[in-house]
Amino acid sequence: MLRAEIIAQCLAMNEAGLNHGVSGNISARCGDRMLITPSGTDYTKMTREMIASIDLGDPEGAFEGPLKPSSEWRFHHAIMAARSDVNSIVHAHPIYCTALAMARKPIPAAHYMVAIFGGADVRCSGYATFGTKALSDEALAALDGRTACLLANHGMIALGATLDQAMWRATELEVLAHQYCVSLTIGGPVILDDAAIDETLVEIATYGKQDV
Ligand SMILES: [Zn+2]
């Protein structure tokens, strides 16, 4: 069931233009293991058996499956092991998030929707080579107290309690990045103060996570 849901979300991610080719990857917690999309596999040809399973307690990430897990399994693994609030992770290279990440620009409180990611900004991590433990460490630091981050000169990560929630956040993050980029071209946004974001955080807690 969860495997089928991962495949459906991969197809939806490409359909929505959030990802191009096979650069993105999706994971979901399954008991004390993590299911993750395999490396370099065309989503339209992906079957449930092809999804790799990794023990969350094993730092070396020994996997089960016919195909190697995504080359980015390390940060999925590190985030899921460190964050009990996270059951699903979406990683992709959408255009506007990646454009900001290439400029190493975090997203400030230019719109109240930034609060759905947990605070007054979405950070951009430091740079590290894809697939490395160094990148995992950078991602974990940028995600502290947040449910999304940009990865320097690379892309983005969105987290969720469910696959739907992680994909919702990934979609909203790309919309916010697009809006922020356009705003920068007309002189730049007015940034909301901490009180406005704190109030929004209270409203989000009241209305529920996907109702803002
Ligand atoms: Zn990537």
Q: How confident is the model at residue 206 (pLDDT cuts 50, 70, 90)?
A: confident
What does DSSP assign to residue 158?
Answer: E
Per-residue pLDDT, averaged over 22-41, amounts to: 94
Residue 64: other Cβ atoms inside 10 A:
10
Minimum mean pLDDT range among 56-60, 134-138, 207-211: 207-211
> CA-CA distance, 89 to 163, in Å (whole number)?
7
Q: What angle do CA 45, 129, 133 make, to 5 degrees?
A: 90
CA of 157 to the centre of ligand 1 (A): 9
**What is the number of alpha carbons within 13 Å of residue 93 lying toward its C-beta?**
11
Nearest one of 82, 78, 89 to 35, comparing CA atoms: 89
- Over 60: is that where the pLDDT of 209 sits? no
Other Cβ atoms within 10 Å of 82 Cβ, number: 12
pLDDT in tens, 62-71: 999 999 999 9
User: How does DSSP classify residue 28?
Assistant: E
Q: How far is ligand 1, taken at its centre, from the CA of residue 25, in Å?
A: 8
Instruction: Count the neighbouring beta carbons within 10 Å of the beta carbon of residue 140.
Output: 17
For 143-180, letters b (16+ CB in 10 Å) and e give: beebbbbbbbebbbbbbbeebebbbbbbbbbbebbbbb
Q: What angle do CA 169, 5, 151 make, to 5 degrees?
A: 35
Q: What is the pLDDT of residue 22?
A: 84
Query: Exposed/middle/buried for 186, CB within 10 Å: 0-12, 13-18, 19+?
Result: exposed
Largest CA distance in the chain: 52
Sort residue 62 into left (φ over 0), alpha (ψ -120 to 50) or beta: beta
**Structure tokens, 156:** 């983005």
In angstroms, what is the span from residue 140 Cα to ligand 1's centroid? 15
Catalytic residue among 15, 49, 60, 72: 72
- Report d(CA 160, CA 140) in Å as an integer: 15
Q: Where are the domains of the chain?
A: 2-207
For ligand 1, the distance from its centroid to the CA atom of residue 132, given in whole angstroms, is 11
Q: Choose the CATH number for 2-207 among 1.10.3720.10, 3.40.225.10, 3.30.310.50, 3.50.50.60.
A: 3.40.225.10
Give distance in angstroms: CA of 98 to centre of ligand 1. Answer: 10
The answer to whether residues 110 and 49 touch, using CB atoms and an 8 Å cutoff, is no
Cα of 19 vs centre of ligand 1, distance in Å, is 10
Q: Which amino acid is at 186?
A: I
72 as an active site residue: the answer is yes
Q: Note the pLDDT of residue 211.
A: 52
Q: What is the mean pLDDT of residues 198-210?
A: 82
